[in-house]
Amino acid sequence: MSLKKIKSTSILFVIVLFLCSLNLLPAGAHAQASRISEESVDVLTKTGQALAELAEAVKPAIVNISTTRTEKIGGRFNPFLNDPFFRRFFGDNPRFREAPRKRRSVSLGSGVILSTDGYILTNNHVVKNADKIKVILSDKREFTGKIIGSDPKTDLSVIKIEATGLPTLKMGNSDELKVGEIVLAVGNPFGLNQTITMGIVSAVGRANVGIADYEDFIQTDAAINPGNSGGALVNVRGELVGINTAIFSTSGGYQGIGFAIPSNMARVVMDSLIEKGKVIRGWLGVSIQAVTPELAEQFHLEKDYGTLVADVVEGSPAEKGGLMRGDVIIEFNGKQVNEPYILRNMVAATPPGTEVFLKVIREGEIEELKVTIGELPSDMQKTPAVFRNALKGTSVQELTPEIKRRLNIPDRIRGVVVTDIEAGSPAETVLMPGDVILEINRRAISGVEEYEAIVSKIKPKKDILLLVYRKGSTIFVTIAGE
């Protein structure tokens, strides 16, 4: 190398050192000199070790469930729908239909071992109509599962395998969950055994999701995919706080919104299924509805909270305990009641024969009542009608004399009163709570039974013409079909 080149190189080296000392070089030029602090490494290492320990502790109690069932199909089979989780929300592929034929289908799901002698909790939709249930443990052992009991109203089932000394998960208290708390989802998405994802509790008390009759879901952003159904949602103590059930998705895949059934609800259902073979639910004997701002004003409430009693069943525990139409229930055994579904879930989870204390607002005054919860009659366990037309998501109630008095509705008016309209319903921008539906497609309505009979026959894309009584006058309105 020539002397001239050596001098040039030396000068360049000195300049680089000088610029480095002044931190004037681009970050990449001295990135190699940067180091992660020992403190940061220690914190991250301990966090990683803690999560690894947690995962190792809970995985053995999570099982893979595969079911086979015979079903009629038409056309080619879509392997993407090889999971009841997907078929539940997206249905069978309507394309490529051929003459119906029978075939054996295989579905995948997960379950949680909750007793050393083989009781396993899972989703009802995982094992529903199954001809055969195969349970695979974390150690690869295989067993045949038997359904002990199912509860479609909460989408839970208990199955049993003949084994002893099994690893289990401890039930946690889901009522103590806080939004932002770290949780792990454990299951078998797409058949990939013992998969763990991490997230936080995004929300609690989610209802009106349309998955089950009794809803009080934990919402999480921990990744939940097909095959996770029936798996565990656990807290940082390794306790079961939820049974993973469904996702909210527009594409069929994970989008950061998953739902789990709270462990406290699951515990009540599981115990009842094991002990009784069915779920025994408490019964109060009232028709209830949400308190809207309009109703709060009519009932002289300071704010729209509590649950309004629209009717009381004759001879029911509610009538015997002194509840009346127009009462607004604000507390059930010391717990606040802000929505109808909260009261419904509390009553259902209360064993029949239990004395409870209710706090109600009656004519502007707070009163306390003592009521003995009864057992929900079998003829009242019928699932409410669900419509797929323009009136879907619209809840109505009998137009009782008390409601007429409260809403200043003339005695001559006959129909059903709108009590609630779900967000996204076609009727959301047309109807409002307190409206009285007098006619549907020019046919008079006298009550809820007649309303359901007429609406059930309307096709999904059909426009619906309603005659509505609203604020002293009658008007015709049209709800467009989807």
Using only the alpha carbons of the chain, give its radius of gyration.
Answer: 29
155 is known as an active-site residue: yes
300 is known as an active-site residue: no
Please report the DSSP string for 188-250 in residue order. Answer: -GGG-TTEEEEEEEEEEEE---SS-SS--EEEE-S---TT-TT-EEE-TTSEEEEEEEEE--S
Locate 356 and state its tokens. Answer: 């409870």
Indicate which residue of 107, 125, 150, 425 is catalytic. 125
In angstroms, the CA 479 to CA 482 distance is 9
Locate 307 and state its tokens. Answer: 């649950």
* Helix, coil or strand: residue 316: coil
> Max CA-CA distance within the chain?
112
125 is known as an active-site residue: yes
Indicate which residue of 66, 107, 202, 229 is catalytic. 229
Please report the DSSP string for 360-403 in residue order. Answer: EEETTEEEEEEEE-EEPPGGG-PPPP---STTTTEEEEE--HHH
Alpha helices in 69-162 (DSSP H): 84-90, 124-127
Locate 121 and state its tokens. Answer: 């909790």
AA letter at 34: S
What lies within 8 Å, CB to CB, of 33 at 6+ separation is none
Locate 46 and state its tokens. Answer: 């301990």
* Helix, coil or strand: residue 439: strand
* DSSP code of residue 351: P
In angstroms, the CA 342 to CA 306 distance is 10
User: 474 pairs with which residues across the strands?
Assistant: 469
Cα–Cα distances in Å, from 55 out to 5, 183, 187, 224? 61, 11, 11, 16
Indicate which residue of 66, 105, 151, 155 is catalytic. 155
Cα–Cα distances in Å, from 214 out to 264, 279, 341, 342? 13, 12, 8, 10
Locate 384 and state its tokens. Answer: 């409410």
In angstroms, the CA 317 to CA 376 distance is 11
Helix (H), strand (E) counts: the chain: 10, 28
Query: Of all helices (H) and strands (E), which one includes residue 42?
Result: helix 38-58
What are the catalytic residues? 125, 155, 229
